[in-house]
Amino acid sequence: MMHRPLATAMLLMAITAVAADVRTEAPVLLEYHFHTGERLGMQVAHRALTETTMNGTTQSVETMTDSTKTWHVVAVDDGGRATLEQSVDDVTMSSRTTDRGSLRWSSDDEGDPPPGYESVRGSLGVPLARLVIDRSGRVLERRDLRPCPPSSTGDLVVVPLPEEPVAPGAEWTIPEEIVVEVPNGPRRAVRTRLRYRLETVADGIATIRVDTTVLTPVDDPRLEARLLERIWDGVIRFDIEEGRVASRRTAIDRRVVGFGGPQSSVRYKASLEERLVAPAGGTEP
């Protein structure tokens, strides 16, 4: 027979565990809430490895990029449509190749950037793109203000959301068209589909899983090799009350054989992690 103090303690532990993970199966409305003058800071970590084999020789290129990205909410109208400007505040980049060794550069370093990174410093701390989005994350307007540095990957704040309340298990899809240039060949338009699925709603956080499907038949390895970076899966955590993406993780690990002859292959493995941090500079008065 279990002693009463022990039984009471176990009951309290069970109650605490349940309270710490409050889940709901009821439909919830997922939409963005922004405020004029607000600044949202994101920590971004991107890792990529490309291994290319030609005629029995394999070469690899490994890159690592860490950056701080900021979204400035320029204005929000009465309908909830927000005008946002993206900038990159700082960046640390490193690379390692089979034949050239390692290279590292940080925007905090003094002196001129090494070859290949010259344009990055001038792109820091200034608006790179301006978007107008609605409450569901649809991009109504987009204007690129200047070339983005390599660290600026993806649009964290504009993950598309359904317009109606959804319950765990619900899915929605977004069509995309990717224009790909094939070496020694014509440009091709490839249709893809992003499928989003609401996995869980717990403690005010909606966990959404996303995967990519290529809809256009692809029978050319050269074309398939150019698509490697665009076919990704991931997990998004959306803060329902705050109305913004709290974090995102995406990953790719794919290989294509025969893109440059029968003895050729290329493997692309990459990960991207974005995490919302404390507001960058708060809200303007």
Q: Which domains does the chain have, with CATH numbers?
A: 24-276 (2.30.230)
pLDDT of residue 137: 94
**What is the spatial distance between Cα 204 and Cα 236, in angstroms, rounded to a whole number?**
14
* Strand 101-106 relative to strand 129-133, pairing: unpaired
pTM: 0.84
- Comparing 74 with 102, the larger pLDDT belongs to 74
Alpha carbon 109 to chain centroid, angstroms: 27
Average pLDDT over residues 16-21: 50
Q: How distant, in Å, are the alpha carbons of 257, 258, 261, 262, 264 from that of 221? A: 7, 6, 9, 10, 10
Amino acid in the structure at residue 142: R
**What is the spatial distance between Cα 259 and Cα 255, in angstroms, rounded to a whole number?**
10
Confidence of residue 284 (pLDDT cuts 50, 70, 90): very low
Amino acid in the structure at residue 100: R
In this structure, are residues 247 and 44 in contact, taking their beta carbons and an 8 Å threshold? no
Burial environment of residue 237 by CB neighbours within 10 A (0 to 12, 13 to 18, 19 or more): middle
Answer whether residue 43 shows pLDDT above 60.
yes
In this structure, are residues 149 and 88 in contact, taking their beta carbons and an 8 Å threshold? yes
Per residue in 174-215, pLDDT (tens digit) is 999 999 888 777 788 999 999 999 999 999 999 999 999 999
Average pLDDT over residues 53-59: 92
Confidence of residue 273 (pLDDT cuts 50, 70, 90): very high
Burial environment of residue 14 by CB neighbours within 10 A (0 to 12, 13 to 18, 19 or more): exposed
Answer whether residue 35 shows pLDDT above 90.
yes
Of 230, 227, 248, 231, give the one whose Cα is nearest residue 239: 248
